[in-house]
């Protein structure tokens, strides 16, 4: 009987994590009008939080149907006929997933790299997801603790 109660307690804890993961917060900026968008990690956190907006994708992009949002970063090199090329970085929410985590597109007037990621603030740079490792660790600790 005691193992059943521990199992349900563990299940409730994991359900809380799943619910929390349904909403994702992403950086939302465009380097065309916010130069800090090029690399937010160059800024200290308190400064970054004042000049680079973070949005809750579910609230920022209303949708009549359930959409699985994620964060997206687009890096474009825009070619101009009589000027130097321009680097532009856009960070925001996405809702149509690509089969690859990152992909490249080479158009006649620009080259772009699009990357998608699936945890809060992950579109700041290319980094590992510390949240995923925390959940794996907690799951392993719960299993070892409850099922000895």
Query: At residue 130, does pLDDT exceed 50?
Result: no
pLDDT of residue 27: 95
Q: By the 8 A CB rule, do 51 and 31 touch?
A: no
Average pLDDT, the chain: 79
Structure tokens at 38: 């090029």
- On whether the CB atoms of residues 73 and 108 are closer than 8 A, the answer is no
32 and 40 Cβ atoms separated by less than 8 Å? no
For the cut 80, the answer to whether the pLDDT of residue 36 exceeds it is: yes
- Domain 2-146 in CATH 2.10.60.10? The answer is yes
Phi-psi region of 112 (alpha: psi -120 to 50; beta: other; left: phi over 0): beta
Q: What is the pLDDT of residues 79-109, one digit of tens each?
A: 988 888 899 999 999 999 999 999 999 988 8
Report domain extents, the chain. 2-146
């Amino acid at each position: 009987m005691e193992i059943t109660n521990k199992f349900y307690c563990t299940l409730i804890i994991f359900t809380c994590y799943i619910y929390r993961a349904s909403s994702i917060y992403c950086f939302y900026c465009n380097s065309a009008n916010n130069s800090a968008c090029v690399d937010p990690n160059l800024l200290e956190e308190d400064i970054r939080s004042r000049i680079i907006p973070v949005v809750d994708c579910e609230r920022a992009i209303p949708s009549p149907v359930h959409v699985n949002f994620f964060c997206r970063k687009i890096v474009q090199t825009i070619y101009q006929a009589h000027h130097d090329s321009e680097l532009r970085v856009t960070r925001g929410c996405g809702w149509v997933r690509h089969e690859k985590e990152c992909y490249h597109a080479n158009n006649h007037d620009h080259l772009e790299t699009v990357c998608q990621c699936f945890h809060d603030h992950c579109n700041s740079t290319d980094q590992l997801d510390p949240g995923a490792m925390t959940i794996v660790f907690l799951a392993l600790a719960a299993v070892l603790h409850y099922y000895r």
